[in-house]
């Protein structure tokens, strides 16, 4: 029996594969589209049973050749570019693909744990897993919401476990391939290492410079939540996956700069000191993001806590520090 991880060479997917390996699980079918070949690096230190291209995997599913062969599916594969305007591509990749895989899992009584997104909430501020809170600002968010609605609509008919996880702003290891869609922590780290300063957006949406706030969650915690549901096949539903605390982009920048300073034996600085020394700079808010940008997110995690997940989440200060330490160690090893 195999575990399937779609999007296995991607950010969360690769971290899940590695976490399964750490549990002694190697019977893993890694599914992805390696048109972007650089993503292979995320799987180099992982052990898998097989790799399948997304289209080849779908054909095996549709032909019934995987019937009775799977233990669980982590469906992380998606186009996650929130600026993508090709709605047809987005719906095919994020919605139709997901429906096909879900119907297979339900028919086979195989647990399906899939990635949704906080993008379903758009500019709303309730952030609860209900229709009143949902109003996506882009077609990416809409594709995720439409699949969540499909899951809800047919929930009463299913006996297999189906869990949707609405990720908030995830940062951490194995995101380097994402380019401009990488986390702000990753961008801030690279900016500071290259130029000695980081750039944040000026104020927008009623927030002061750098004070736009998001629920930033470490991929370490995201993986732990996924594995919690794997261990509890009796639980189904759609759940927010965030820390439950909004923190500002300024706080992420300060944590990043101080992590780098600590590595060089320099003392920590407060935001005001960093601004005075031009270690943090503000740039104009991009026109293309106006009206399509979430200036504030904060997960309501009461449903997640209510189903039994009790582990504490890393704060920005804790998680970014750990992440930067690993990035610095990796850079040191590469330059050795």
182: region left, alpha or beta (phi > 0 left; psi from -120 to 50 alpha):
beta
| pTM, rounded to two decimals | 0.94
What's the CA gap between 282 and 270, in Å, rounded? 16
> Which one of 178, 199, 207, 282 is the catalytic residue?
178
> Which one of 97, 114, 140, 296 is the catalytic residue?
140
The neighbour count for residue 207, using CB atoms within 10 Å, is 16
The full set of domains in the chain, from first to last, is: 2-171+219-243+299-313 (3.40.50.720), 176-213+247-297+317-329 (3.90.25.10)
Instruction: Provide Rg for the chain, Cα atoms.
Output: 20
pLDDT at 146: 95
Q: Within the chain, which residues score under 50 in pLDDT?
A: none
Say if residues 106 and 158 touch (Cβ distance below 8 Å). yes
Is position 309 annotated as part of the catalytic site?
no
pLDDT at 174: 97
Taking only the tens place, the pLDDT of each residue in 44-98 is 999 999 999 999 999 999 999 999 999 999 999 987 666 666 788 888 888 999 9
Phi first, then psi: give them for residue 228, nearest 5 degrees: -60, -45
Is position 171 annotated as part of the catalytic site?
no
pLDDT at 292: 75
pLDDT at 83: 66
pLDDT at 155: 85
């Amino acid at each position: 029996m195999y575990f399937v991880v779609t999007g296995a060479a991607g950010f969360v997917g690769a971290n899940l594969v590695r976490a399964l390996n750490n549990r002694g699980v190697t019977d893993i079918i890694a599914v992805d589209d390696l048109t972007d070949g650089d993503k292979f690096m995320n799987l180099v230190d992982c052990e898998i049973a097989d790799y399948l291209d997304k289209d080849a995997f779908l054909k095996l599913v549709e032909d019934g050749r995987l019937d009775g062969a799977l233990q669980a599916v982590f469906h992380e594969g998606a186009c996650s570019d929130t600026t993508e305007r090709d709605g047809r591509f987005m719906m095919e990749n994020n919605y139709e693909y997901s429906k096909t895989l879900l119907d297979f899992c339900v028919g086979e009584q195989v647990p399906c744990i899939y990635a949704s997104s906080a993008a379903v909430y758009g500019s709303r501020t309730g952030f609860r897993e209900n229709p009143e809170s949902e109003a996506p600002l882009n077609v990416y968010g809409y594709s995720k919401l439409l699949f969540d609605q499909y899951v809800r609509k047919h929930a009463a008919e299913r006996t297999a476990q189906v869990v949707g996880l609405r990720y908030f702003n995830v940062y951490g290891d194995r995101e380097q391939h994402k380019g401009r869609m990488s986390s702000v922590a990753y961008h801030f780290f690279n900016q500071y290492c290259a130029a000695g300063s980081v750039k944040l957006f000026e104020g927008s949406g009623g927030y002061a410079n750098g004070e736009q706030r998001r629920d930033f969650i470490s991929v370490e915690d995201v993986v732990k939540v996924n594995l919690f549901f794997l261990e509890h096949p009796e639980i189904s539903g759609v759940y927010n996956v965030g820390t439950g605390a909004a923190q500002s982009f300024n706080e992420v920048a300060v944590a990043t700069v101080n992590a780098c300073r600590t590595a060089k034996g320099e003392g920590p600085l407060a935001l005001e000191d960093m601004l005075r020394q031009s270690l943090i700079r503000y740039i104009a808010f991009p026109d293309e993001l106006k009206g399509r940008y979430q200036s504030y997110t904060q997960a309501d995690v009461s449903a997640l806590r209510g189903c039994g997940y009790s582990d504490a989440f890393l704060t920005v200060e804790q998680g970014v520090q750990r992440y930067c330490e690993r990035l610095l160690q990796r850079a040191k090893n590469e330059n050795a």
